[in-house]
């Protein structure tokens, strides 16, 4: 089975005529349609809001599109807060979820009126000292142990560095109340890239019951519950993607079973999707520039793990389409590689593909989240451009490619190039 790119070879050649490979290309139409589907899935909850996880794809043009569609921003660092501020997101439109948080990050989050989601009990005193405790505050919960859904282990929160313990949640709410907090949120992230439909409803059950118990124990007004991210992408052809509409219906059932009978039917729900929201609507476009015939057959691209590190870092699968050869037989076995001096710089290992000729354009699918954002400069490699494809077929450069002058910009040494 295969995947179909959202762009034609002719359009890619047109873009390449202006913007050299490698580059990321994002599908504006697909992004907007997916946001609307997510909002429809949770429209039964009047207070629902999606806070896009900025870390997934930190580009202000994309943040602006999501803002137009009613999304807020989930930030985890100073620069992500700055990006959100630049596109005009303010106050309750920003959720700040960070860990080992520097003072300056807390200070900017408070200045912007972001809803601060505390990762640790000790952060209560730190935030109070720096900026005071706001009336609305959130705490991140870690239940410990392993997290199961439908009797299958989904992840191991007990090994995670994030969040409050159950005892600390009660103590934290009580301490925050004494310091002036009046409205509380609960947040948790217990599994990543889940492709079934069970995760969110199972997580909702844990958090909804926690909310009821915390309200009874402390009298705190819990105004929202943040299910965070974790809904994933079907990276492999034939893999069934999550059904977000079904997920929304199943979460509603749990909401009606737990929160409504407890008199808490006014609790707003938030999500922080990055991967599910943007992953399928971004591709890395690269060119075959070298071939090697030794113990295996290798195809070398003008992109490398510095442009998309997930395969090298996690062994992650990204489907590859050789543009113009979509219907050709996949009768050649290749390792598809980049030019880093690291043997794990491989986008695919023993992948069956059509015969690849030098100059062919290759599309690496589902790279719209945690793709460009995880780029780095090892071996002096430079991060690629980002391009937005509009529904009418026009396109815009939304981030230029790095230059050697960018790489040397933090050095003060004679003879190195500088940007004008």
- Residues annotated as catalytic are 341
Q: How many of the other CB atoms lie within 10 Å of CB of 240?
A: 9
Task: Fill in the DSSP letter of residue 279.
Answer: G
Q: CB within 8 A of 385, min separation 6: which ones?
A: 19, 20, 23, 24, 397, 399, 400, 401
Match 């999500």 to its residue by tokens: 271
Integer angstrom CA distances of residue 242 from 26, 149, 207, 404 = 21, 15, 21, 41
Give the chain's largest Cα–Cα span: 71
Q: What distance in Å separates the CA atoms of residue 246 and residue 135, rounded to the nearest whole number?
A: 35
Q: How many angstroms separate the CA atoms of 199 and 116, rounded?
A: 24
Q: What are the CA-CA distances from residue 162 to residues 23, 138, 324, 345 (Å)?
A: 34, 14, 46, 30
Report the alpha-carbon distance of residue 274 to residue 74 in Å, rounded: 9
- Where does 112-157 have alpha helices with state H? 123-130
Contact (Cβ atoms closer than 8 angstroms) between residue 203 and residue 164: no
Both structure tokens of 420: 């004008």
| Paired tokens of 70 | 């009613």
């Amino acid at each position: 089975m295969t995947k179909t790119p959202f762009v034609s070879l002719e359009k890619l050649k047109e873009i390449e005529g202006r913007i050299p490979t490698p580059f990321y290309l994002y599908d504006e139409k697909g992004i907007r349609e997916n946001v609307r589907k997510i909002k429809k899935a949770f429209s039964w909850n009047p207070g629902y809001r999606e806070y896009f996880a900025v870390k997934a794809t930190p580009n202000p043009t994309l943040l602006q599109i999501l803002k137009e569609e009613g999304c807020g921003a989930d930030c985890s660092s100073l620069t992500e807060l700055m990006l959100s501020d630049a596109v005009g997101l303010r106050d309750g439109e920003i959720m700040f979820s960070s860990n080992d948080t520097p003072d300056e990050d807390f200070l900017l989050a408070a200045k912007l009126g972001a809803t601060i989601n505390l990762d640790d009990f000790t952060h209560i005193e730190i935030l109070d000292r720096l900026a005071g405790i706001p009336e609305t505050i959130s705490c991140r919960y870690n239940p410990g142990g392993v997290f199961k859904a439908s009797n299958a282990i989904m992840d191991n929160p007990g090994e995670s560095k994030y969040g409050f313990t159950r005892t600390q949640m009660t103590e934290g709410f009580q301490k925050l109340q004494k310091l002036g907090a009046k409205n509380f949120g609960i947040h948790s992230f217990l599994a990543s890239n889940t492709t079934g439909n069970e995760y969110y409803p199972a997580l909702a059950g844990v958090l909804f019951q926690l909310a009821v118990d915390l309200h009874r124990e402390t009298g705190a007004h819990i105004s929202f519950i943040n299910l965070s991210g974790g809904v994933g992408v079907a990276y492999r052809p034939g893999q069934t993607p999550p059904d977000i509409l079904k997920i929304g219906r199943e979460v509603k059932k749990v909401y009606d079973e737990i929160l409504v009978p407890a008199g808490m039917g006014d609790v707003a729900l938030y999500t922080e999707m990055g991967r599910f929201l943007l992953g399928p609507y971004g591709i890395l476009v690269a060119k075959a520039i070298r071939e090697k015939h030794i113990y295996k057959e290798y195809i070398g691209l003008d992109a490398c793990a510095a442009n998309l590190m997930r395969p090298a870092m996690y062994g992650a699968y990204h489907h590859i389409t050789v543009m113009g050869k979509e219907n050709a037989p996949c009768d050649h076995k290749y390792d598809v590689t980049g030019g880093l001096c690291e043997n794990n710089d491989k986008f695919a290992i023993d992948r069956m593909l059509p015969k690849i000729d030098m100059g062919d354009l290759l599309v690496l699918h589902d790279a719209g989240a945690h793709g460009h954002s995880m780029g780095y400069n090892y071996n002096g490699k430079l991060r690629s451009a980002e391009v937005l494809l509009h529904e009418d077929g026009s396109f815009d450069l939304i981030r230029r490619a790095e230059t050697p002058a960018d790489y040397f910009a933090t050095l003060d040494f004679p003879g190195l190039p500088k940007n004008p």
